[in-house]
Amino acid sequence: MTAPRTVGVEEEFLLVDEQGHPTAVAGAVLDAAPREVREGPDDVPGGGLEHELMLEQIETGTPPCPDLATLDAEIRAGRVRANEASAALGARIAAVGTSPVHVLGTRVPSRRYDRAAAQFGLTADEQLTSGCHVHVGVASRAEGVAVLDRIGPWLAPLLAISANSPFWQGVDTSYASYRAQVWSRWPTAGPVRTFGSVAAYDDAVARLLTTGTILDVGMIYFDARLSARYPTVEIRVADVCLAPATATLVAALARALVETAAREHADGLVPTALHPEVLRAAAWRASRSGLGDVLVDPATWAEASAHDVVGSLVEHVRPALEDAGDLDAVTELLGGLWARGGGARRQRAWFAESGDVLDVSRRAADATLG
């Protein structure tokens, strides 16, 4: 086979003070950070820091990486850089999909974000949510659309693996990923149909823009999309992961999904038609259950235990994992995840011990660096 596809990860983090309260210092953090920390290396994308919609958030991104060991190191280094830059303003990063503590987000002052707030009201005002976006290299936009047409059924299990947002405004939501519920309010968020061609994908984007409902192409919030900036498929379904190892696991499985789909396309295998209504139900189930209950198995479209569904995912991408040399690492990472529990389970366990969402926030910040 040719060299494994490059993979990169963008992670969004909540900024909290030493007591665990969210703190709106992202602008000051970026202003104070040295240029090389803020912008990353000049010769490759990623490796720097950015703001998000809210001043209580900061985002990191890795460069494109050829292997999991490099990616894992870059994920951890990015978290350290963001934490060190935030420390200068008395803050820390916490890898949580939603704040455990009640907070009203403070919007970053920008003309685009002001337009979004005017257009979308409470949907924009309440978007203090943090995700993990995985970019996987593709040879062309045509290959990218062929990948999108094939990976949709397997994105809900990725959400379940990453689920790390059980609290919203200080209360337990009963969801493993409440971020997914909040994010689904955007008009373009969620699963999509089979496109079949670049022309059909571009036509769908153009029609959404023509409606005037969204501001620009940057608001194409499909669970997976063609990146507007890089030659990649961008998989956007995951919560930011509490443990850096889980982020590496999600990225490894995402890369294997893309490689598997590209091989099916190259072999002339016709994709199964995607039914967004079923995919949406599977995504809701993953948001509700995480790894703690049943999921929808894309192999049968029937409910099955989370353990079995994750096993189905690994079997689906096993040849790609083996060829990239990732199978042993993924097996080990999954073993660690099952043993310690995902982010939602760990947050709830901390709350069960202390009864204090501030304690959950502080312990999440401790766990973020691994």
- pLDDT, tens only, 253-279: 999 999 999 999 999 999 989 999 999
Query: What would you measure as the largest C-alpha separation in the chain, in angstroms?
Result: 56
Domain count, the chain: 1
Residue pair 276/29 in contact (Cβ under 8 Å)? The answer is: no
Is 348 part of any domain? Answer: no
Is 369 part of any domain? Answer: no
Q: Whole-model pTM? A: 0.97
DSSP 3-state of 297: strand
Of the ranges 13-27, 42-56, 355-369, which one carries the lowest mean pLDDT score? 42-56
Conformation bin of residue 196: beta by default, left when phi > 0, alpha when psi is -120 to 50: left
Residue pair 282/295 in contact (Cβ under 8 Å)? The answer is: yes
110-151 confidence digits (pLDDT tens):
999 999 999 999 999 999 999 999 999 999 999 999 999 999
Is 1 part of any domain? Answer: no
Is 351 part of any domain? Answer: no
Q: Is the pLDDT of residue 1 over 60?
A: no
Nearest residue to 120 (alpha-carbon basis) of 110, 112, 132, 130: 112
Is 150 part of any domain? Answer: yes
Is 66 part of any domain? Answer: yes
Is 239 part of any domain? Answer: yes
Range of the domain at 95: 7-339
Q: State the CATH number of the domain containing residue 55.
A: 3.30.590.20
